[in-house]
Chains A and B, each alone.
Chain A
Amino acid sequence: MYTEKVMDHFENPRNVGELSNADGIGQVGNPTCGDIMKIFIKVDGDGGERISDIKFKTFGCGAAIATSSMVTELVKGKTIDEALSISNKTVAEALDGLPPQKMHCSNLAADALHTAIKDYKDKKYAE
């Protein structure tokens, strides 16, 4: 039911863990099935804002874990603006597709990323 890419990211997830000195943290719960995803980003300010490091932790199905892993891989090293342009569709496509009933899992990944970026911006502009 899952593509090889999904299974690869599930079996060998990239960037699992936490960042103790994160600049932004996004945690979202999946209203459809009850899963939880947390994304930590480190932003490098020199020469434009780039996501220099990113980690995730996920409580969810195989697709939730694979989409989290994929989203971290997609945005690592990217600018904040580039990262903001990533949608759940981008994530699902990068995994060669998800089964229809699992599309909502990719919302979780994109949402967690965007929430982490928002958290970073909120903190930055609060200073």
Chain B
Amino acid sequence: MRRVYLDHSATTPVCPEVAEEMYKYITGNYGNPTSVHYYGRQVRNAVEEAREKVAASIGANAKEIVFTSGGTESDNMAVHGIVYTNKNKGNHIITSAVEHHAVLNMVQALEKEGFDITVLPVDQYGMVNPEDVRNAITGNTILVSIMHANNEIGTIQPVEEISKITREHGIPFHIDAVQSFGKIPVNVDDLGADLLTISGHKVYAPKGIGALYVRKGTRWKQTLFHGGAQERLRRAGTENVPGIIAMGKACELAVADLQEESDHLRKLRDAVIEKVLNKIEHVRLTGHPAERIPGHASFCFEFIEGESMLLSLDMKGIAASSGSACTSGSLEPSHVLLATGIPHEVAHGSIRTSFGKDNTLDDVEYFVETMQSIVERLRSMSPIDQDFDSTCASCKEGKSCHA
């Protein structure tokens, strides 16, 4: 069966160059970088070279990079570390309604501990208004955390403008750049980041490795891990050496190929959006039409449900994802889609495609063709259409449902 992977926002394959580098540190060079002997020194040098590469890829200094187990850990460490290190100065945190759960759930946990949280709303495209950040700042604000690009709807936030405001007030600004890194330029000085999160498995390195950038001079301490003195006291635990080596290589490649990669992804994204909107009725693009990461196209197909579309796509060899309630485990639709004002029943029909290096225009064609017949089949089975009376009176259990 033909297989087409269109879920690169979920994860990417490890590319051959990265795997090759990494392999040496799984099989041969097994030393512990903390060890004084030859085996340790050899690995220590490689880890520091990888750190240089990661730093260079985001315009940082190697000393400002901490290796972590991925995006979730970096987000958690950034938020928790800033808040705990600065709690004598204030107790107020500002974030947005469309953040990844790695930030949102961390912030919610802090709220239970007594911190004050402002979750900023977004517009219909999922965009935060920088003026809302300005207006939310109080004398007690100790952290602003806003993502660079959204994983579910691809929208790129105006982080440069937000950072001007946080700078004026001297408040640390954390940016989750997991989805933007490797697709658009991510430079810590241009963006104005004090802390910045990236994850390996979104950029052709393996799962379970990430990095946190912490600008020199930022009042931040690692507050979650208690253990050894690794990473200059900023992340206890023996380093994931093969992961770190892979991350270094992947970051090096990500910047070297950035222009070519983003041109390629933009071409595929624009083609899939154009074709889906032209060939299928009652579809909306979710997220921003222009300010979105290359390679990311997300939609809501009305009157049908996301999981049933994913199953149908999978039967044709196509891998995509959805923010539908039925796929979420919690049985709640995506908080991101709801934050953009999309009604519950429309969010039900969410499908996200995210393209990568190996995809072609032919894959776009195959997806659109397949999607056309899936939509037709599922709509023919659906009791609802544009004339459907969705008021609660027509529905037995309407009162207790989400409508």
Contacts and interface: CB of A to CB of B under 8 A. Distances in A.
Given A27-B395, A101-B331, A33 B382 contact: no
B333 A34 contact: yes
Given A37-B383, A57-B382, A58-B383, A30 B303 contact: no
B305, B384, B400: residue with the most chain A Cβ atoms closer than 10 Å: B305
12 contacts: A27-B395, A28-B397, A29-B395, A30-B401, A31-B401, A33-B331, A34-B344, A59-B348, A60-B305, A62-B308, A64-B308, A65-B381
Contacts of A104: 331
A33 B384 contact: no
Contacts of A30: 397, 401
Q: Return the 5 tightest CB-CB contacts between A and B, nearest first.
A: A61-B326, A57-B383, A61-B307, A38-B383, A29-B395
Given A7-B311, A31-B402, 8 more contacts: A2-B311, A26-B396, A29-B396, A30-B401, A34-B403, A58-B383, A59-B305, A59-B384
Contacts of A10: 308, 311
A28 B24 CA distance: 59
Interface of A is mostly: mixed
Contacts, number: 85
Interface residues of B, number: 31
Interface of A: 2, 7, 10-11, 13, 16, 26-38, 57-65, 101, 104, 111, 115
Interface of B is mostly: loop
A27 B329 CA distance: 25
A45 B326 CA distance: 39
B259 interface: no
Contacts of B308: 10, 60-62, 64-65
A58 B326 CA distance: 14
Interface string B317-356: 0000000111101010100000000001100100000000
Given A10-B311, A33-B325, A36-B384, A28 B396 contact: yes
B387 to A, nearest CB: 14
A31 B329 CA distance: 15
Interface of B: 303-305, 307-308, 311, 315, 324-327, 329, 331, 333, 344-345, 348, 380-384, 394-398, 400-403
A4 B96 CA distance: 42
B326 A27 contact: no
A58 B325 CA distance: 15
A58 B381 CA distance: 6
A77 to B, nearest CB: 22
A34 B348 contact: yes
A28 B395 contact: yes
A59 B326 contact: no
B305 A35 contact: yes
A36 B305 CA distance: 10
A121 B375 CA distance: 36
Nearest to A105: B326
Nearest to B330: A101
A102 B204 CA distance: 33
Contacts of A29: 395-398, 401, 403
A2 B331 CA distance: 17
Contacts of B329: 101
Contacts of B394: 27
A32 B333 CA distance: 11
